[in-house]
Amino acid sequence: MSYRIEDFENDQTWTPSFGEKVGMIHFRKGHLHAECDPNSRLCEIHYDDYDPHESPSSLVNHMSKSKLGAGVLIVGAIGILDHIFNEGKLRKKIQRSLS
C-alpha cells in the first residue's frame, strides 16, 4: 500500500516529527514512523523500537540508534559538561572564533 503526505496531514493521530533523513517530512504515531518525500509526496512507514515522543529516556534510546542521533547527544553532553564544569568557556571560545 502506498501513502501520501496528505494521509498523515489529515489524520490527527499522526504527529509531525523529526528524523535522521533531514530532507524528508516526518510523522509519528507511537512506534510507527512515516518518512515522506516532499517532491513525490509519497511516504514509507517503518516501525521503530523506541517512540521518541514517549519520554526523555525513550528519546535518548531512539537517538542513540543512529549515527546522527548519537552525534547530537554527544555534542549536547559536551555542551552541558562545559557549562557545568567550565563556565561555558568552550562554547564562548567557539562563538568568538565563528564571529
Q: What is the DSSP letter of 47?
A: E
Q: Note the pLDDT of residue 94.
A: 86
Q: Note the pLDDT of residue 66.
A: 84
**Within 10 Å of residue 58's Cβ, how many Cβ atoms?**
16
Please state the domain extents for the chain.
1-51, 66-99
How far is residue 64 from each of residues 23, 32, 54, 55, 83, measured CA to CA in Å?
20, 18, 15, 14, 22
Q: Note the pLDDT of residue 69.
A: 87
Q: Note the pLDDT of residue 45.
A: 96
Instruction: State which residues of the chain have pLDDT below 50.
Output: none
Amino acid at 64: S
Residues 6 or more apart whose CB falls under 8 angstroms from that of 92 comprise none
| Helix, strand, or coil (residue 98) | helix
